[in-house]
């Protein structure tokens, strides 16, 4: 099985102001002038991490990674003003123009797959290929599956669900997203942080195939927990700022673009049905269902993603 490429440092780190309020943290790694790709992180609000650079052969790729509005080192931190899917799509295109890249491969996982599809459908002429992992199509059934009391995730991770549920008083559990939002957007700073960590530990600890029900997961650090929880709740309660079934409806715009869909058979955050629904509507794309959970770091997902980027490098190199 393929493994991640060796650790690498950016050859350029910059700040890019996309409007008068928001400034993005941008990293470029690999080889300047090589095949360009943009990496879209999950969440919203999760931010980029050093291992994200390693899905690409640094000798063959020029990879652009950035923290989306409100995430990571972008500023203002965890800010919700002018923070919608349309704003993020516009940011990706503005960044491409700023860097002088004509066309690039778009790589995104989880929420990053949603954003990748939205960007590609808005700007198909700018996309050389798509690598999509942990598909999320922003439908109500997907949001309810993991976040609400009538969803299915509670049957698979019952210990973790109970902690997420019990943070909210029983009278408010009919709409968990709104109940958490009330606390995440409230005036009580201690309560905001506690809600953010309860939200983020539920999600962050549910990503891997080998599951420890007591592990805090990747998003428990307070800074990351706050941006993840606030931005996710903001987007979730607005239907990800997309029209119903928009991403499936507009697939005709991108059917010609080479695409690989990678999804873990035992992904509990984004169930495999979502990837199957996408592939049924887009049979031209390659579908890889592998023995993994949601995490991009699960071995079988690493193998499939690295293979996908290698094949695109062979195709366009």
Which residues are catalytic, by number?
110, 267, 294
What is the rounded distance in angstroms from the CA atom of residue 268 to the CA atom of residue 199? 15
Q: How far is CA 35 from the centre of its chain?
A: 22
Question: Cis peptide before 76, with omega less than 30 degrees from 0?
Answer: yes
CA distance 182 to 186: 6
- Rounded to 5 degrees, what angle do the CA atoms 195, 197, 200 make? 110
Reading the block at residue 260, the tokens are: 């690989």
Per DSSP, the three-state class of 132 is strand
Nearest CA to 266 out of 292, 230, 300, 241 is that of 292
Length of the chain: 317
Please report how the helices 176-184 and 222-236 are oriented relative to each other, as an axis angle in degrees rounded to 10: 130
To the nearest 10 degrees (0 to 180), the angle between helices 222-236 and 189-204 is: 80
Burial of 264 (0-12, 13-18, 19+ CB in 10 A): buried
Strand 35-40 to 61-66 pairing: parallel
Closest of 200, 254, 202 to residue 231, by C-alpha: 200
* Cα Dmax for the chain: 58
């Amino acid at each position: 099985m393929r493994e991640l490429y060796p650790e690498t440092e950016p050859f350029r780190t910059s700040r890019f102001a996309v409007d008068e309020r928001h400034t993005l943290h941008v990293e470029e790694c690999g080889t300047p002038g090589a095949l360009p790709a943009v990496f879209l992180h999950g969440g919203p609000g999760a931010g980029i991490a050093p291992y994200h650079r390693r899905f690409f052969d640094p000798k063959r790729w020029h990879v652009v990674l950035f923290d989306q509005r409100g995430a990571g080192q972008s500023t203002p931190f965890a800010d919700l003003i002018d923070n919608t899917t349309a704003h993020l799509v516009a940011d990706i295109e503005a960044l491409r123009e700023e860097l002088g890249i004509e066309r690039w491969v778009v790589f995104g996982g989880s929420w990053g797959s949603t954003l990748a599809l939205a960007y590609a459908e808005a700007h198909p002429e700018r996309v050389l290929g798509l690598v999509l992992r942990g598909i999320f199509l922003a439908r109500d059934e997907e949001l309810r599956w993991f976040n609400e009391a009538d969803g299915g995730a509670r049957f698979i991770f019952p210990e973790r669900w109970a902690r997420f549920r019990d943070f909210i008083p029983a009278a408010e559990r009919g709409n968990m997203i709104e109940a958490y939002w009330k606390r995440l957007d409230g005036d009580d700073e201690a309560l905001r942080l506690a809600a953010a960590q309860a939200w983020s530990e539920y999600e962050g600890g549910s990503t891997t195939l080998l599951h420890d029900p007591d592990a805090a997961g990747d998003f428990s650090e307070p800074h990351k927990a706050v941006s993840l929880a606030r931005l996710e709740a903001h987007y979730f309660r607005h239907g990800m700022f997309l029209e119903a079934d928009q991403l499936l409806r507009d697939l005709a715009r991108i059917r010609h673009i080479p695409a690989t869909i990678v999804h873990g058979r035992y992904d509990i955050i984004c169930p495999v049905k979502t990837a199957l629904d996408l592939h049924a509507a887009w049979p031209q794309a390659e579908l890889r269902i592998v023995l993994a959970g949601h995490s991009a770091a699960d071995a079988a997902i690493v193998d499939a993603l690295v293979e996908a980027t290698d094949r695109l490098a062979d195709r366009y190199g």
